[in-house]
């Protein structure tokens, strides 16, 4: 299963756009059922702890994982193209 984690905060427009784009592409390519998509709120203690553990220092940060392996990471890049995402294995 592909896991996508979007690190950001609820007030960040770029973070919202990154989350919406990942959801859109997973649905568009028929992968929504095999893709886990999580939003990690960096304004909460749990979100900060997860971000520190995962070496997230800026938002938005999007991390794609296949099992235990990190496949891709985008930092401050909400404008990733569908081809960019597809090439990393989400779809």
Helix (H) / strand (E) element for 53: namely helix 45-53
Instruction: Give a yes or no: residue 71 inside a domain.
Output: yes
Local confidence band at 91 (pLDDT 50, 70, 90 cut-offs)? very low
Task: Please check whether residue 12 lies inside any domain of the structure.
Answer: yes
Q: Is residue 36 part of a domain?
A: yes
Residues in the chain: 91
**Alpha-carbon distance 85 to 76, whole Å?**
15
Please check whether residue 53 lies inside any domain of the structure. Answer: yes
In a domain, 58, yes or no: yes
The pLDDT value recorded for residue 60 is 94
Give 18-65 pLDDT, tens digit per residue: 999 888 888 888 877 778 899 999 999 999 999 999 999 999 999 999
pLDDT greater at residue 45 or residue 77: 45
Q: Does residue 78 fall inside a structural domain?
A: yes
Give the model's pLDDT for residue 1.
80
The answer to whether residue 64 is domain-embedded is yes
pTM of the model: 0.80
CA distances from 43 to 35, 39, 68 (A): 25, 12, 25
Range of the domain at 63: 2-84
Q: Domain count of the chain? A: 1
User: Quick check: is 90 in a domain?
Assistant: no
CATH number at residue 64: 3.40.30.10
């Amino acid at each position: 299963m592909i896991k996508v984690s979007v690190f950001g905060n609820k007030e960040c427009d770029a973070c919202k756009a990154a989350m919406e784009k990942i959801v859109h592409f997973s649905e568009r390519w028929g992968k929504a059922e095999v893709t886990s998509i999580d939003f990690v709120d960096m304004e909460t203690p749990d979100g900060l702890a997860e971000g520190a553990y995962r070496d997230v220092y800026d938002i938005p940060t999007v991390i794609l994982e296949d099992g235990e392996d990190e496949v891709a990471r985008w930092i401050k890049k909400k404008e990733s193209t569908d081809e960019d995402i597809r090439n990393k294995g989400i779809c």
